[in-house]
Amino acid sequence: MKGMNIIRLDSKGRVLIPSYIRKEIGMIENSEIIIVRDQDEIKLFPLYKGMNAKMKLILRNVPGALAIVSNIIAKHDCNIIVSHSVPLEKDLAEWSAILQAKNTELLPKLKKTLTDSEVVERVKLFY
């Protein structure tokens, strides 16, 4: 497997990402990383300065709502890095996501398209 290394935790719980991996994915000093626990695994997702957005949506809790939203996001050249959803009262759900945008200038248009969608009640977008 390309990029597979055995590394150790130091006494403070830190890990060192090998330099060749950091260089290949464009990580520099003070780069931010999302760490996600997935059962008995952890996954690391680098965040690239000027390319990320945090989004919080209130969705109508109807079948296919997440698929509709995901399709809208993809059409605006954004990738979903990580997301989380929680059911709310009154047939609503909250969905939070961190996006990686190929062009952050498209984010206001993304917000408007989501707002105009039949499954989205409210949009908050931070970038």
Quick check: 123 and 69 in contact, CB under 8 A? no
Domain 52-126: top CATH class: alpha beta
CA 36, 3, 6, 48 torsion-angle sign: negative
Identify which has the larger pLDDT, 69 or 42. Answer: 69
Residues 97-126 as b or e (16 or more Cβ within 10 Å = b): bbbbbeebeebeebbebbeebebbeebebe
pLDDT of residue 44: 86
Contacts 24+ apart (CB under 8 A), 18-26: none
Q: Is the pTM of this model over 0.85?
A: no
Could you tell me the pLDDT band of residue 91, with boundaries at 50, 70 and 90?
very high
Task: Kindly report, as residue ranges, where domains of CATH 3.30.70.260 are found in the chain.
Answer: 52-126
C-alpha 27/C-alpha 98 separation (Å) is 18
Quick check: 93 and 58 in contact, CB under 8 A? yes
